[in-house]
Structure 1
């Protein structure tokens, strides 16, 4: 008697396969919809975002800055006018924490900023809309790809007398000082050269071209990332700190050794 051959029925699928197929379809549809929505929002609301930022910046300015600088940026007896300051200087002062000013003194110290990056950009955009001035540079100026050797030479000629040849900062007259630059961002180095905050002079394009500024920034970025091969830098302040170190520790060790030898002999 011949054995019956059992054939698997064709066209019959597991219930799990149908569920998987439906789930995959829903995922694909949802992904396509989300991508299309994001693209539409990015293209359709670009101009609205800029306007909203300016409006938000005006509210923040009125609440935090108008007391000293005036509601129309005209200045008061407590603060200078901001006409012609622009967004670059505004971003620099707020992002470095120098503004709002904590107290009157010889110089506004750098401290932790009181606003988020978005709020700072919004206030800078508002100032730029009312009193246009220096604006953000092209990204190429801040890329650190300039001539490092030329930038270091320009820094020694134009900046080292205040900031120290190692960019470690230095003291000025009447309680003022040039801050260290070893942790300063590329944008803020550029902003300082263009806007001249505190006691720093303004370096326009007639003094230092855009390429010169790029080279100086590149030299400072290189110095910030360089590995110290000479041992302890002692603040890179030159012979004063080095001499003090030798007097305190070097001669102190010699005196201690002399006392120890004398005590042993007795």
Structure 2
């Protein structure tokens, strides 16, 4: 009897065995479920569009823009009406981060966009559906294959007084400024000409036709893609920066040499 009791005692399972078995079972069940889910997702329909609708754009607008521009685009004391601005203006202002406006000031600065591309297009489509205005151009207008020389001449006559002939931007009055165009996309170049943001005038087809706008865009893209052949550009700010450089370093060097010669002679 004593031997039999001893054999039974030595054959007992550890108290942790049940816990280990349960853990292994859970791991196997989870692995099988994860594998099955991945297989179903791989074989499912992946062609579903993620683009937002006009109704989604309306909700985004009312949640983020209506405080200043009104629930029906009518404008308020804090922001102008959006009647007739069109989807192109909305895309430009929101995609460049100028809107939503952080604080009132002489001019809305450019900053990182606060919304995704789909959200921006949805809000623009909503505004266009309520009050149509300027819309997106054809791809040909933005392809950069226009007449660069003609575009340079048009830009010099109509734009260089604010943006600088090299598109480097410049200061205006009362704290306002013309932004640099060194990284501006072709779409936003066109949008600026058509919608006239900030202090920029609107260039309708009576002022500049589509072909002329295409030439201007081609010229600016050429500037973006080609470095200045004249050496260090000094910010491409023209004779003011160059004269300041000569005055400080050129005249300063001459004065230094004169003092040195005088000291040597003494």
Match of 1:227 in 2: 227
Unpaired runs of 5+ in structure 2? 1-38
Residue 105 in 1 paired to residue 105 in 2?
yes
Residue 54 in 1 paired to residue 59 in 2?
no
Match of 2:215 in 1: 215
**TM-score (normalizing by structure 1):** 0.79
SS in 2 for 1:213: helix
SS in 2 for 1:227: coil
Superposed displacement of residue 164, structure 1: 1.3
Superposed displacement of residue 37, structure 1: 4.0
Match of 2:173 in 1: 173
CA RMSD of aligned residues (A): 2.0
**TM-score (normalizing by structure 2):** 0.79
Residue 141 in 1 paired to residue 130 in 2?
no
Matches within 5 A, 1:9-48: 37-38=45-46, 41=47
Unpaired runs of 5+ in structure 1? 1-29
Matches within 5 A, 1:117-156: 117-156=117-156
Superposed displacement of residue 265, structure 1: 5.0
For the residues of structure 2 that align with 1:113 and 1:263, how far apart are their CA atoms? 60
Over residues 167-195 of structure 1, what are the superposed CA-to-partner deviations in whole Å (9 max), with x where a residue is unaligned? Answer: 11122222222111111110000000000
For the residues of structure 1 that align with 2:168 and 2:85, how far apart are their CA atoms? 28
Match of 2:249 in 1: 249
Superposed displacement of residue 55, structure 1: 2.3
SS in 2 for 1:102: coil
Residue 160 in 1 paired to residue 160 in 2?
yes
For the residues of structure 2 that align with 1:74 and 1:119, how far apart are their CA atoms? 21
For the residues of structure 2 that align with 1:265 and 1:156, how far apart are their CA atoms? 53
Over residues 202-251 of structure 1, what are the superposed CA-to-partner deviations in whole Å (9 max), with x where a residue is unaligned? Answer: 11111111111111100110111112211111111111111111111112
